[in-house]
Amino acid sequence: MGLLSKLAESVTPYAAGEQPRDRKYIKLNTNENPYPPSKMTAEILKAYDAADLRLYPDPESMSLRAVLSQLHGMSTQNIFVGNGSDEVLALAFKTFFDADSQPVVFPDVTYSFYPVFARSCGIRYREIPLNASFQVNVADYIGLNDCGGIVLANPNAPTSIAQPLSEIEETVESNPERVVIIDEAYIDFARTESAVKLIDKYRNLLVVRTFSKSYSLAGMRCGYAVGSAELIDGLTRMKDTFNSYPLDRLCQAVCAAAARDVDYYQTVTNAVVDTRDKMAEKLSNLGFSVLTSQANFLFVTHAKIRAEQLYLSLRERGILVRYFKKPRIENHLRITIGTPKEMNALIVVLKDLIGQLT
């Protein structure tokens, strides 16, 4: 007789990109930022008085929320913070979607955490295929009467493609009775505008952000949501049934310092975007089709060599990229943008492999 609950027996966990311990790789598989976080974060850590850790953190993370509300020109009532945006998304599914209502709608292909989480809560979902160019067809999301909510990653992952703000607005406006979640994990790398500027206009819009990608703080585990006070209150109620203190003291202080260092992160983001655009061209020259990326990664397929073969050969040569063995995308690779030096190393190895394998 097993000791697990029926739920624990039946769930399928999300498979995160590997964090290898066996050897040192050039790591281009989980969309981490290749540059360090703001110097202000290191100063917080150096000056930190360990005696403070005796006390619980502020359960409402007020000082961090104050910095974020300033950054976005909103009130603290419009900001919810959590232990990574995965946690914020998980709480949002539980807060806004019902098990016995119409299915929640999101694209096929998108961030694979969404179906995992929906299943673990018994929330039904319906996936709408991207078009042949891997784009969201906005018409598929307009005025959906028969849905329990909508989740869109913008830019989308792992495709790297972004939708213009006007399409996001049409989606939110035409589904006023449903919560629309826009996951903006990669928005800082995009030319497209953030949906945060629509929050005042639509009570059903929730925008989710993370410190893991553009803030170089994946190891700190912090994400947040911006939305109407009504939605943020709901999230807070849900949080307090699960974990009242999701952000520890260090995390609150470090992320507040990072969020204040706007200039530094502008420089880092520009560097990643610049490397990305150069890399897209170099990969095209090597026979790859490269989707137009507005994120910190490229989604590519090669005309002659199978993606799985490339993934395995790169791995052997010490370079990790992400490969998804899934319908529609099983011949694509997702390559995180690293430093120019790491990208040059990748190009050298790819040239060699392509020479051998074709």
Ligand X SMILES: *Cc1c(COP(=O)(O)O)cnc(C)c1O
280, 87 contact by CB (below 8 A): no
Q: Closer to ligand X at the Cβ: 259 or 353?
A: 259
153 lies in the site for ligand X, by CB under 6 A: yes
Give Cα separations from 349 to 13, 66, 353 (angstroms): 33, 46, 6
- Binding range to ligand X, per CB under 6 A, among 14-22, 82-90, 97-105, 314-322: 82-90
CA atoms of 73 and 238, how far apart (whole Å)? 25
17 lies in the site for ligand X, by CB under 6 A: no
- Residue with token string 């099983």: 330
Among 85, 120, 171, 294, binds ligand X (CB under 6 A): 85
358, 53 contact by CB (below 8 A): no
For 140, which DSSP code?
Answer: G
- Binding range to ligand X, per CB under 6 A, among 79-87, 235-243, 274-282, 302-310: 79-87
Q: Closer to ligand X at the Cβ: 302 or 334?
A: 334
157 lies in the site for ligand X, by CB under 6 A: yes
Q: How many residues bind ligand X (CB under 6 A)?
A: 13
246 lies in the site for ligand X, by CB under 6 A: no
Report the interhelical angle of 249-260 vs 39-47 (nearest 10°): 150
Specify whether the backbone of 189 is left (phi greater than 0), alpha (psi in -120 to 50) or beta: alpha
CB of 58 to ligand X, least distance (A): 20
Among 96, 106, 111, 125, binds ligand X (CB under 6 A): 111
210 lies in the site for ligand X, by CB under 6 A: yes
For residues 234, 235, 237, 241, the Cα torsion angle rounded to the nearest 10 degrees is: 140
Q: Three-state DSSP class for 344?
A: helix
Q: Closer to ligand X at the Cβ: 264 or 297?
A: 297
Among 223, 234, 246, 338, binds ligand X (CB under 6 A): 223
CB of 158 to ligand X, least distance (A): 8
CB of 305 to ligand X, least distance (A): 26
Strand intervals (E) in the chain: 26-28, 79-82, 104-108, 125-129, 149-153, 180-183, 205-210, 223-227, 288-290, 297-302, 319-323, 333-336
129, 107 contact by CB (below 8 A): yes
Q: Closer to ligand X at the Cβ: 144 or 153?
A: 153
82, 223 contact by CB (below 8 A): yes
Give Cα separations from 28 to 60, 230, 339 (angstroms): 35, 39, 10
234 lies in the site for ligand X, by CB under 6 A: no
Among 66, 116, 218, 347, binds ligand X (CB under 6 A): 218
Q: Closer to ligand X at the Cβ: 218 or 347?
A: 218
CB of 309 to ligand X, least distance (A): 25
Q: Closer to ligand X at the Cβ: 111 or 311?
A: 111
Q: Three-state DSSP class for 109?
A: coil
Among 32, 167, 183, 188, binds ligand X (CB under 6 A): 183
Among 32, 86, 167, 188, binds ligand X (CB under 6 A): 86
CB of 96 to ligand X, least distance (A): 16
Which parts of this chain interact with ligand X (CB under 6 A)?
A: 31, 84-86, 111, 153, 157, 183, 185, 210, 212, 218, 223
